[in-house]
Amino acid sequence: MHRQFTSLLLAGCLCCTAANVIPTATLSSHALTIVACVKKASVSKDTIAVGESVKIELEWSTGAKQDLIFTSDNADVASVDGSGTITGVSAGSAVITIKHTGTVGTDKQLTVTVSGDETPSTVYNTSEMTLGMKLKINDTIHYDGKNTGFVANIVNTKGSYDLAFINEKDYVLPFDAELVGNLAGNFYIAPEIEGITYLDGRTLKSGDIIDRSTHLLCYDYEIKSAAKSTTYAYPVFLPEYYGKYIGEGEIRVNTVDSEKKLIVLESADVTTVKGDVNGDGSFAVSDAVAFSKWLMNDDSGSAENMSSADLNDDGKLNVFDLVLMRNALREQEN
């Protein structure tokens, strides 16, 4: 024992001395592997329907993921497969255990209730979704790789949109909602939650007043300012857009053209001349011509301020207003 200790001491001293004389040799070492473990396990809904399947969502720590073993303490109520998909079998409760195959990490458990009264959630492929579709809480939107609905713009109470990248991960709805737009591959989703007021733009008519805090649902209609020639394609016209694109003050509906799918809005801070259809600041024969063409669905006329054509103030634009226009022009000429 004494001899071995002395040898080790001498070896250590020699190594230190040699370090000052010869270059340090490159020493081989084993790479350190960090093994990840499951930090949290959850499902999108705690109560599922008989025959319904839900995927366990896992939150991992940093590192190389281990293989997992999923088991159910009551497979007659809820079964679970090797990928972590739970399926309701019959009414009751079951505890699902997630076990790590390695030595790192502790087991995780979650309880799932199966009910015969629960309505199964629906999985929608993005390419099959249609405008106006009603969606329920816990329904799943799945991107099926057909270049439709890869991003969801979800209206929020802050007056803007939250984004969900469906092409990266399925989106499970936390609320009832409606699909109100599909623009350039992006979905626009209007959730039914407290703090958001919607108005269906397709129900508007000339002269209607719009609350500036309202989210205007345009679907496949476009919005146009009565004072500008630019049109805006926004499936949901957010409250901030009224001041940005239309103007300040009271927001009124100028016209709604169902055939062209166009909603023209105007603001109270824009002074309009009665009969000034083309928006040039005066009432002349050219306005009567433009209004006449508009009545005949002729796009060649300039009609920037159509609500000014309502000369009898009945909230309707028709041939009676055109007659009043012509009479007024005659009087003006005389």
Contact 66, 101 (CB under 8 A): yes
In the chain, the amino acid numbered 246 is: I
- pLDDT tier at 156 (50, 70, 90 boundaries)? very high
Mean pLDDT of the chain: 85
pLDDT (mean) for 287-302:
77
> Is 11 buried (19+), middle (13-18) or exposed (0-12) by CB count in 10 A?
exposed
CA 221 – CA 35 distance, rounded (Å):
53
* Residue 255 tokens, joined: 């016209």
- pLDDT tier at 7 (50, 70, 90 boundaries)? very low
CA 152 – CA 270 distance, rounded (Å):
35
For residue 70, the SS3 value is: strand
For residue 310, the SS3 value is: coil
pLDDT at 321: 87
pLDDT at 18: 38
Whether residue 219 is predicted with pLDDT greater than 90 in this model: the reply is: yes
pLDDT (mean) for 161-184:
93
Return the H-helix or E-strand segment holding 332: helix 319-333
pLDDT at 22: 41
pLDDT (mean) for 220-248:
91
CA 235 – CA 226 distance, rounded (Å):
19
- pLDDT tier at 8 (50, 70, 90 boundaries)? very low
Bridge partners for 188 per DSSP: 153, 181
For residue 292, the SS3 value is: helix
For residue 317, the SS3 value is: coil
Q: Where exactly does CATH 1.10.1330.10 map onto the chain?
A: 271-334
DSSP state at residue 35: B
Find where tokens 């169902």 sit: 258
In the chain, the amino acid numbered 143 is: Y
CA 50 – CA 89 distance, rounded (Å):
5
* Residue 121 tokens, joined: 């959630």
Of the two residues 147 and 111, the one the predictor is more confident about is 111
CA 62 – CA 244 distance, rounded (Å):
45
pLDDT (mean) for 168-189:
93
pLDDT (mean) for 269-290:
77
* Residue 72 tokens, joined: 């159910």
pLDDT at 300: 59
Of the two residues 97 and 308, the one the predictor is more confident about is 97
Tens of pLDDT along 191-207? 999 999 999 999 999 99
Of the two residues 265 and 304, the one the predictor is more confident about is 265
CA atoms within 13 Å, Cβ hemisphere of 63 = 15
In the chain, the amino acid numbered 19 is: A
pLDDT at 271: 57
* Residue 289 tokens, joined: 């011509």
Decide yes or no: CATH 2.60.40.1080 for domain 38-115. Answer: yes
CA atoms within 13 Å, Cβ hemisphere of 7 = 4
CA 19 – CA 25 distance, rounded (Å):
9
- Of 178-182, 247-251, 307-311, least confident by mean pLDDT is 307-311
Whether residue 245 is predicted with pLDDT greater than 70 in this model: the reply is: yes
Whose CA is closest to 303, among 323, 322, 287, 283? 287
Tens of pLDDT along 123-141? 899 999 999 999 998 899 9
- pLDDT tier at 248 (50, 70, 90 boundaries)? confident
Whether residue 27 is predicted with pLDDT greater than 80 in this model: the reply is: no
The domain made up of 271-334 has a fold known as Type 1 dockerin domain (1.10.1330)
Strand pairing class (140-142; 123-125)? parallel
Return the H-helix or E-strand segment holding 68: strand 68-72
Q: Where exactly does CATH 2.60.40.1080 map onto the chain?
A: 38-115
